[in-house]
Structure 1
Amino acid sequence: MKNKALTLTFIFKASSLNYGEGTANISELKKFHRGDGEVYSFASRQSIRYDMVRLGNEFFNWNLNVVDKSKGVVQFKEDCTIEDSVEMDLFGYMKTKAKAGADKRSAVARLSHAVSLEPYRSDLEFLNNMGLATRINENSNLATLEQHESLYTYTLTIDLSHVGVDGAIELSELEKANRVKQLVEITKYLNREIRGRQENLAPLFVIGGLYPIANPFFLGRVALQDFNARLLNVKQIESVLKQTALGHDVRVCTKIGLVDGTFANENEITELADTVSIEEFYQYILQEIDAYYKVLV
């Protein structure tokens, strides 16, 4: 079986996805500054992974009973393997051993941060608990949250040739295919529960496919050309599509899924590569995964 990898870059719309430590009664978003002076919020890859595993348990009954506290460290159980845990298989693990190093498995599914495509403009939300305080004639407690609604982008890359393989353990091709398809299905309905809200992280735009190398081709290449007009920067994507990977044409390997009406320059986007609905995109990717693992459907 030839080595192949699946890489998908998504755009979704959401609000205030990840908070840091904060100061006093101010909850601060995780964010960073760029050289142009703009500030962008982000949801860490760890937070995205957390919700993927949570939904894996809810949708597909992924086994989460694989963790304990061993030698003072919270980690995966020593006797658990990738046979017991889809999470350990896809996202890797490290089990420390006193004076003996550690057992490690690199992640075969790699995530990037989900970074906002629109700059943060210091919007704040003022909160209090007056509803509770007035019941007992007390003064309410005050809090301030940073708020940012934006389009966000993140990338998922899965090395298909290493799924279900760990030392002497190798799972069946059917099980490998099922695990990858489950993770892909999770991205279709991804959501995040945060501060009493449930944010929808389902894609409005997705680009990717199966490639001969595990490379996140479109990571850092998806951006807005104009914040106000909601124009996607097609030139950056076009430059990637002109590349080759081990003799394979990147454009030929690539498909785009798009929700109608998301971007003003939709006609330009559809000219980049074969463009279909989000549902059709996912059906195509699931079929490609089955074909790679030679699973009969």
Structure 2
Amino acid sequence: MKGIEIVWLSKTDLTNLNSGEGESNLIDIKKFKKNGIEYPYVSGQAMRYYIKEAIRRNLGEKEFMCVPDDKGEPCGEPKKCIACDLFGYMKTIKDKGADTRVSPVKVSPAIGLLPFDENSTIDFLTRRHRGTEKAEGDIVNVELGVNIYKVGIAIDVQRVGGEEKIKDRQVKIEYFIDEDERKKRISKVIEALRFLTDYSKQARLLTDFTPDFIIIAFQDIYSHRLQKAIEFKDGKLDIERLEAVLRDVKEYSPKIFVGLLPGLLENEEKVRKVFSEVGLEVKTPDKAIKEAVNYLKNSKL
């Protein structure tokens, strides 16, 4: 096994998952333009943070994830630290430069698939000033929106729990933890998708960002091809594109898990038919994630 590819869709309630720069009295939503139309997005950095915090919340008593220091630097000890192993780091060393580790876990931005203007509103909140005799404060406008987001994760399985070393003019990986521990760490990334909660502003904008539709592929070749399986427009998936990419990915993916909640897609029945035709059973996202973790547990890395 060389890679695990995951792509999913998540439908949100009215929320602001990741703010842009905004102004003093505006909390905006990060946006990008496509064909002159604005769509919201959540940065890859924010998505990595949400996944990290989901892992942190469910650590065992003897498991360790460091907290970066006041300079934002992690411990840089991937053998004992799950976060430094999975998500990499850059730790400065005085008079020497930096000790770096490339992240085995790659995370895409969450791309909104519905136009922002058609699915948004402006709310406001008040910020009271302390120490004043009167109940004075500022009114801050907050952009909120409902949307369907597409997100992707790629796990470079071979690099989890190991470091690249050059020997005999070849790059080889030396592992500092055993295979069982490597599996446990990888499974934490997959399991985290069931428990994503620590996004911004949730004290007053409670929403759920866990998958409504998910595809998880265990691959003998490291590839990001699966990320192109989902093309969404007007509430429907592009059926031809989905089938073409699935057949490509199946050539080097011994196992693929699929989960779908009813009511997300307008052409849901056609989507289910495509998966059936390529030999994939559709379950709920939660069950697909659980079965993927169990498959990993019983597989050879």
Cα distance in 2 between the residues matched to 1:58 and 1:224: 32
Could you say what secondary structure the match of 1:96 adopts? strand
Provide the alpha-carbon RMSD of the alignment: 2.6
Q: How high is the sequence identity, in percent, across the aligned residues? A: 22
After superposition, give the CA deviation of every residue in 1:76-105 in whole Å (9 maximum; x if it has no partner).
23xx41122111111111122234232211
Deviations 1:219-275, CA, capped at 9 Å, x for gaps: 24423231xxx222222212212325xxx6257643321112221211111122212
1:102 matched to which residue of 2? 98
Inter-partner Cα distance in structure 2 for 1:270 and 1:204 = 14
Q: In the aligned structure 1, how far is the partner of 2:77 from the partner of 2:139? A: 47
Does residue 16 of structure 1 match 2:12? Answer: no
**Structure 1 residue 24, shift from structure 2 partner:** 2.8
Q: Which amino acid aligns with 1:94?
A: M
Matched, 1:150 2:147: yes
The answer (yes or no) to whether the contact 2:51–2:196 under 8 Å persists in 1 is yes
- What TM-score, normalized to structure 1? 0.84
Instruction: Give the Å deviation of 1:169.
Output: 4.8
Give me the whole-angstrom Cα distance separating, in 1, the residues matched to 2:93 and 2:22.
Answer: 35
Give the TM-score of the pair, scaled to structure 2: 0.83
Residue 211 of structure 1 pairs with residue 209 of structure 2:
no
Q: How many residues align?
A: 279
* 2:75 is the alignment partner of 1:67: no
On the 8 A contact 2:44/2:107 being kept in 1, the answer is: yes
Task: Return the match for 1:290 from 285, 294, 297.
Answer: 297
Instruction: Give the residue type in structure 1 aligned to 2:154.
Output: T
Of 127, 132, 135 in structure 1, the residue corresponding to residue 124 of structure 2 is: 127
Shift of 1:112: 0.2
2:128–2:138 CA contact under 8 A, matched in 1 = no
Secondary structure at the aligned position of 1:118 is classed as: coil
Taking the aligned partners of 1:206 and 1:287, their CA distance within structure 2 comes to 16
Using the alignment, how far apart are the partners of 2:68 and 2:195 within structure 1? 26
Distance 1:30 1:11, change over 3 A: same
2:2 is aligned with what amino acid? K
Distance 2:135 2:251 in 1: 68
Report if the CA contact (8 A) 1:130-1:141 is conserved.
yes
The gaps in structure 1 that reach 5 residues or longer are none
Instruction: Give the secondary-structure state (helix, strand or coil) at the position aligned to 1:47.
Output: helix
Judged with a 3 Å threshold, the aligned counterparts in structure 2 of structure 1 residues 83 and 252 are, in CA distance, closer, same or farther, namely closer
